[in-house]
Structure 1
């Protein structure tokens, strides 16, 4: 699959910014990911991301690190942090920006090391793709966690994107799938990615999945628009 995301990050990093990434989703929405936003510093980050970084302890694995904003902030504050991303361009951007430790791989292919904090920010739990993959995904995260470690993740309940009826209920298409399962395609400079699944999780569903996988799930903070920060601990 073409590394469209990585190509865009490298273009921006090396001063060749001319357009943003366009996204198409199964929610029938066309949107953009502004490249400058993918290079934001701590002061420009949403409150939930800032809070997660403030809660980080010990050795850190930044999963889906992108351009490395979170990892670089922690590294600059004395943390031993590793950035992991399946995008080769993202990892090259991180290296060029000064991140000392990086891993270019898919999360489920990475093993053999444990960390005190796993970060999955910018809806990193979305990497699970589909709800029926979540148990296996959480199990793999547990294998990367030191005995007293923590997983910090943010996500959104996208129920608000569906029509509401008079009694407050929501009209959700009866597709048989969980409503937070979305399929995305990215486009950059006339090149399109293959479609890929992405998962948005409401907190109760996350909590139930954690319970089934012997993880304690705490709601740390709620954002302004159906988003939240959660902390997961080994039971």
Structure 2
């Protein structure tokens, strides 16, 4: 798993603990990967409203980029059918080890599911920004639309560059002259038993809620609700 440092770190954590430091890296700048905080805390910690909204959704729910499976575990525990996948083999192995038996490896840009398969969709982890451009986010939203029903709900999340007081506080931040748009680039490294695993560089487009609405133009989706928590926000989309 030399090309999957983040997923390998998740799997090690699940098996008993990290075997070295996992971190975000952008040039000489680094930050802790927060494996426990981002992937192994309970759903609803500090955000009970969101857990209630998830439980109000009918299954089967598509969990896009499921990571170590915390949302899938939460939904399973409450009787909601969930179909979780991630591009990271290590993350999928960690999710399965935690009891998410249906977790599997897949690519959100080319999902292996038939049209209108899912009544609801969750894409948590600011993955929408991996579209890389407004057009790329629009194309990803169209792929989300393809696999969901005509009355589907989707929850996505993002960072709002317009709400970022100090860009220097966000590792990998890159400015953009357009209003409500910025970029973020970094890769993961995991020093595992003396071997350094280095991942590919990830490029995220950061968009404000207004720019997310622009990206929805030409897709079946409409932004119906935005919940801000500082620079981070979660958006509910409906068809």
TM-score norm. by structure 1 comes to 0.84
State the aligned residue count.
Answer: 225
Which residue matches 2:222? 216
Q: Structure 1: give runs of 5+ residues left out of the alignment.
A: 165-171
Describe how 1:28-177 pairs up with structure 2 within 5 A.
29-37=29-37, 38-44=39-45, 46=47, 49-50=50-51, 52-113=53-114, 114-161=117-164, 173=175
Deviation at 1:175, TM superposition (A): 6.6
Provide the rounded CA distance (Å) in 2 between the counterparts of 1:69 and 1:79. 14
Does 1:186 pair with 2:224?
no
Alpha-carbon displacement from aligned partner over 1:110-166 (angstroms, at most 9, x marks no partner): 1333211110112131232333311211111100111221111121202344669xx
Q: Within 1, Cα distance between the matches of 2:16 and 2:166?
A: 42
Report the 3-state secondary structure (helix = DSSP H, G, I; strand = E; otherwise coil) of the residue aligned with 1:159: helix
Looking at structure 1, the residues matched to 235 and 198 of structure 2 have their Cα atoms a distance apart, in angstroms, of: 33
Structure 1 vs Structure 2 CA RMSD: 2.6
SS in 2 for 1:125: helix
* Closer/same/farther in 2, CA of residues 153 and 45 from structure 1, 3 Å limit: farther
1:57 Cα offset (Å): 2.4
Tell me the distance in 2 between the aligned counterparts of 1:44 and 1:79.
19
Give the TM-score normalised by the residue count of structure 2. 0.83
1:58-85 Cα shifts (integer Å, max 9, x gaps): 2101101000000110011001101110
